[in-house]
A = this chain, B = another copy of it.
Amino acid sequence: MDPNAKKTALRMIPYGLFVLTGQAKDGRVAAATVNWVTQASFAPPLVVVGVKVDSNAHAIIKEAKAFALNVLGKEHKDVAYTFFKPLERAGDTIGGQKFRAGSLGAPIFENVPGFVECALVETVEKGDHSVFIGEVKDAGVKVEPSGRPDDITLLLRDLGDKIFYGG
């Protein structure tokens, strides 16, 4: 396999940006910007996230068996960069973002266009990132969009011409 062709072909997959969150029983919180996200079923509603094996989010979400995906909006470039690095909670905020615990305990950001909160129903650990499969148990939207919901979402490509995560 030509490694350059592999990189380029995989970079043809477009991505949005999300902050993946989880909360351990002892109150520790993980929040990480992710882009490897897709829906994977309607009934039940399943989503898939690729999660870095050596990340706090991986450990905490496996333990808590729940996670949230907070959708970033076009105005949230700075938020995306903030959660590229691991952060600790400060009261009911993390990385400057105020959150509440969702019905499964995962941190839901107050200031994002939408979220889904999921029960972790399966993990497949076969690489440097694991496949976390979640069943959507709760969801919320700040304002019902007048146009396409995916027009609101911050895209990986919105971060700059040279910013990739994939390939």
> What is the interface of chain A, defined by CB distance below 8 A to chain B?
1-2, 4-6, 8-16, 36-48, 50, 71, 113-116, 121-122, 124, 126-131, 133, 135-141, 144-145, 147-153, 155-157, 161, 166-167
Q: Pick the contact of A114: B9, B121, B153 (CB < 8 A).
A: B9
Instruction: State whether A129 and B40 are in contact (beta carbons under 8 Å apart), knowing that A5-B140, A12-B16, A13-B16 are contacts in the complex.
Output: yes
- Shortest distance in angstroms between A151's beta carbon and chain B's nearest beta carbon? 7
Q: Give the residues in chain B near A11, CB-CB below 8 Å.
A: 148-150
Is there contact, CB below 8 Å, between B139 and A150?
Answer: no
- Shortest distance in angstroms between A8's beta carbon and chain B's nearest beta carbon? 5
Is there contact, CB below 8 Å, between A10 and B126?
Answer: no
Residue in A14, A113, A167 whose Cβ sees the most chain B Cβ within 10 Å: A14
